[in-house]
Amino acid sequence: MINTLYCFGESGNAYKAALCLTLAGVPWQPRFVDFFNGEARGAEFRAINPMGEVPVLDAGGKILTQSGLIQTWVMDETGKLAGASAADRQEILRWILFDNQKVSGTAGPLRFLMNFAPEDKRDAGVIGYLTGRMQAALSILEGVLSTRDWIACDSVSAADIACAGYLYYPENFNFTRADYPAISAWLTRLAHQPNWAHPYDLMPAPTLGKDNGFRDA
């Protein structure tokens, strides 16, 4: 069975699902969602996901939405990226929730606002607020990764994929890897995992795609 992931390359949340599926060895195929031209707001897509968001995973007719749920499904189905114990699973979930609220929850809107929103909508005050929130969360990650190789347990897990969801993108969103040496080393370790791929290689991205020239692991 080939699972279908509704996604587009610019979505860091979809990347979390795509990379989790890939590293766990789950067969899947992308179904491009034309987000920037409003497909996710249309009736056909809303019939699949009333939330109007990607990612959506069609797992043999079972529809799963939200990246954290899809990552949990991958762990449940494969036993991979899930640590070695129940305590590890709890810690993985803790960091997935942290990412959704604090890391991706600020990096995603910030990157959108600075790069994809109309220029007259790029409010400097909002950008400053989101930047401060994101950098505070990244400082927490930097502290943890200064003492260990992986975020939640002794091996790469869905928590690492979640927290890295937006951090490989080339667009400016006030994140510079050189400012976070432990995070940078961790991103390199993750990129050296078998079958890792950059989001613009893993998912269709006609808006930017492979022409951006960025493949820094």
DSSP state letters, the chain: --EEEEE-TT-HHHHHHHHHHHHTT--EEEEE--GGGTGGGSHHHHHH-TT--S-EEEETTEEEESHHHHHHHHHHHH--SS-SSHHHHHHHHHHHHHIIIIIHHHHHHHHHHHHTS-GGG--HHHHHHHHHHHHHHHHHHHHHHTT-SSSSSSS--HHHHHHTTTTT--S-SS--GGG-HHHHHHHHHHHTSTT---HHHHS--SSSGGGG-----
94 & 154 share domain: yes
91 & 187 share domain: yes
- Residue-number span of the structural domain to which 93 is assigned: 86-191
pTM of the model: 0.93
20 & 96 share domain: no
9 & 70 share domain: yes
pLDDT 10s per residue in the chain (217 long)? 789 999 999 999 999 999 999 999 999 999 999 998 899 999 999 999 999 999 999 999 999 999 999 999 999 999 999 999 999 999 999 999 999 999 999 999 999 999 999 999 999 999 999 999 999 999 999 999 999 999 999 999 999 999 999 999 999 999 999 999 999 999 999 999 999 999 999 999 765 433 333 333 3
| pLDDT score at 47 | 96
69 & 115 share domain: no
Provide the CATH number for the domain around residue 207.
3.40.30.10
How many distinct structural domains can be found in the chain?
2
